[in-house]
Amino acid sequence: MKQFLAFVNKEFYHIIRDNRTLLVILGMPVVQILLFGFAINMEVQNIRVAVYDPTPDAFTTGIAERIQQNAYFTYLGNVYSMNEMEESMRKGELELAVVFQQNFQEDLVHSGDAAVQLLSNSSDPNRGSIAVTYATAIIAGYQQEQMSIERIPFQIRTENRMIYNPLMKSSYMFVPGIMGLVLMIICTIMTSVSIIREKERGTMEVLLASPLKQGTMVFAKTIPYMFISIINLIIILLLSYFVLKVPVNGNLLLLLLISVIYILLTLSYGLTVSTIVDKQINAVIVSAITAMIPVLMLSGMIFPIDSMPRVLQALSTVVPARWFIAAVRKVMIEGQGFFMVWKEVLVMIGMTFFLLGITIMNTKKRLE
């Protein structure tokens, strides 16, 4: 125990003395959650819009007015030819053009069908498609309104009820993914460097020649990183709650328990990497690549696992973040209890023991 505490102490000093790394470690989750959270989830605003209406009438003016008044749009004015519109869009001034067909009202009244084109600048596909969705919704709303007043049979082509909400919803889905990613990156990289640093500095030999047990050393190394990761976890949860407004629908303690298990798992993974590669720089590269890419691609963070090919689905089962993200979604977003996540929790615990076992075996093998 004395050995253990002395060693834990030492590890804390290493971390605290290394100001720059500490700053990165604690700053990264803040930057990432804000970046990911806002870049992906923030409502698209200030869409620069213009209207081309060759034959203005009551309907077209009504729709144009709705769009002009809408808070998400910035109205640039009317354009008077398709050329002018294209020109403006090419320059990047215009993001969305609302183009009415000729004789809009006339067609609508006589045939019950009229067309409005929504041309969006899709150089930013996300923003573009959201702009179209907004405009479609405004038009649909207007049509409905008119129908009830004038009793004219309209053909309603767009129907988007979730339009004012889907962004919020995707942000709900994203926070667990970001938690999985950030914790994976930080924990893995931090710890992967820590054993190799001892080898590179030559202190490993001295430790091996001392009565210190490999197991003691490995566990002592995880403690300070665990402590820092929990601080990170709290930062992430606070930011998602207060800044991204993602509620915690389930039991907070259960959520913390799941997260702590995941932190242990990622720390163990970092230690495993650290016993396999031989240079600090390789450790950073290996852990960054093996920690990031599977989390992005195979964890269900971005691409739903259910719609993956069978092979990839099978592959995703070895990605720790997959289980963590699934469990966090269930608890945090869906508000489910322990009985819905015990499988994920068990898988994560199993993986942790497996990796720790490999780590201890590998450390021993080194010089013996």
* Interface with another protein (CB under 8 A): 2-3, 5-7, 9-10, 13-14, 17-18, 201-203, 205-212, 367-368
* CB 227 to another protein: min, Å: 18
Distance CA 57, CA 139 (A): 15
* CB 23 to another protein: min, Å: 16
Q: Which residues contact 330 (CB under 8 A, 6 or more apart)?
A: 250, 336, 340, 341, 344
**Cα–Cα distances in angstroms (integers) from residue 166 to residues 61, 118, 162, in the given order:** 28, 20, 6
Distance CA 68, CA 50 (A): 9
* CB 209 to another protein: min, Å: 4
Distance CA 82, CA 86 (A): 6
Please say which residue, 22 or 156, places its beta carbon nearer to another protein.
22
* CB 298 to another protein: min, Å: 37
Please say which residue, 6 or 238, places its beta carbon nearer to another protein.
6
Contact 138, 63 (CB under 8 A): yes
**Cα–Cα distances in angstroms (integers) from residue 262 to residues 126, 227, 240, 319, 327, in the given order:** 32, 13, 18, 12, 10
Please say which residue, 55 or 203, places its beta carbon nearer to another protein.
203
Distance CA 71, CA 182 (A): 34
* CB 29 to another protein: min, Å: 24
Distance CA 291, CA 254 (A): 24
By residue count, the chain amounts to 368
* CB 232 to another protein: min, Å: 22
